[in-house]
Structure 1
Amino acid sequence: MTTTWGLIVETTVGFRERKHTEAYVVAHFTGSREEALAELERRARRHTPEHPMSPKRRRLLRWSDGFLLVVDGAWQSFVTRFTVAELLEDSDAPSAPDPAAAEEPAAPVAPEPVTAEKPSAAAAGPAEQQDEWYADGVPVKPAWLGRKDLP
């Protein structure tokens, strides 16, 4: 059985008195813990935090379950913690695929314009000049397209 790991990022957001930490599961990774840590390290090395706007110093540290990125700004330091954790439960996980439905999915079909009757008399003005309509009654060419009186 393969293990699914959550790649978690906890980062400093906000400024001064409103500065706080928020956590996000940025991805799920299936494989060994070492492979998950390697993927997490790649993400940590590429990560550019929102704050500080003008970084003066950047330090990436390894610790037991992940990495710690400390970025010093002109007045404050901002921290981002990268953690790998085993996924034990997910209330919104997709259901297991149905083997019977393993057929190739049909490609989505774009609606094709159809020549249809003009809409009822309620639609007056430029819409009456339409000659192509989608099956649901929406004109292919918007009524405002080509109008000279619009900015």
Structure 2
Amino acid sequence: MSTTTTWGLVVETTMGTGERKHTEAQVVAHVTGSRTEALAELERRARNHVPMHPMSPKRRRLLRAGDGFLLVVDGSWQSFVTRFTVAELLEDSAAPPAPKPVVEAPAPAPAAPAAPPGEPAERRVGPAVELDADGVPVRPAWLGRTDLT
């Protein structure tokens, strides 16, 4: 696998009690890198995980399984399990679009100063317009014009 692989960290946990007991799953994070890096982050999360059930834990066991970890917590009457799995992300319908590459645009040519109203364009004579790095005039063309008041 390449080091640009994205891994999903999936947590499946027991919810509810008695007859309403069921398992819910969610992707809690993504890790971009190697599978080893993803497993290390998953193990960190598994070791620090505090499940909602049982309310009064009697025993806690964390086991390593093929693609992740299994946390078994025994309560007074029942055991509850949380499965931590690392899985390669193959597709994500809600992923943000990849950024487009930045292309440097050539600096625009200096524009000729605008002629005051009533003055023909041929009579525009003056120094070249000074532009900053983004191509914006350092001194606006309207600055100092007396016909704008």
- Fold equivalence (TM over 0.5): yes
**Per-residue deviation, residues 109-142 of structure 1 (Å, max 9, x unmatched):** xxxxxxxxxxxxxxxxxxxxxxxxxxxxxxxxxx
- Spell out, residue by residue over 1:18-38, the C-alpha distance to the aligned partner (whole angstroms, 9 max, x if none): 000000000010000011000
1:1-151 pair list within 5 angstroms: 2-100=4-102
Larger gyration radius, structure 1 or structure 2: 2
Percent sequence identity is 81
Partner of 1:109: none
Secondary structure at the aligned position of 2:52 is classed as: coil
Distance 2:16 2:100 in 1: 44
CA distance in 2, matches of 1:73, 1:98: 52
In structure 2, what is the equivalent of residue 127 of structure 1?
A: none
Task: Supply the distance in 1 between the matched residues of 2:102 and 2:38 (Cα, whole angstroms).
Answer: 32
- Secondary structure of the residue aligned to 2:95 is coil
Residue 49 of structure 1 deviates from its aligned partner by 0.1
Unpaired runs of 5+ residues, structure 2, are 104-149
Moved over 6 A (4+): none
* Structure 1 gap ranges (5+): 102-151
Deviation of 1:100 (Å): 3.7
CA distance in 1, matches of 2:37, 2:68: 12
Aligned Cα root-mean-square deviation (Å): 1.2
- Write out per-residue CA displacement over residues 94-114 of structure 1, whole angstroms, 9 at most, x where no aligned residue: 00113349xxxxxxxxxxxxx
SS of the aligned residue for 1:51 comes to coil
How far apart in 1 are the matches of 2:65 and 2:36? 13
Once the 2 structures are TM-superposed, how far is the Cα of residue 86 of structure 1 from its aligned partner?
0.3
Quick one: distance in 1 between partners of 2:64 and 2:102? 45
Q: In structure 2, how many angstroms separate the alpha carbons of the residues matched to 1:100 and 1:52? A: 52
* 2-structure distance, mates of 1:25, 1:34: 18
Question: What TM-score do you get using the length of structure 1 for normalisation?
Answer: 0.65
Distance in 1, Cα, partners of 2:99 & 2:55: 45
CA separation in 2, counterparts of 1:85 and 1:23? Answer: 13
SS of the residue corresponding to residue 47 of structure 2 reads: helix
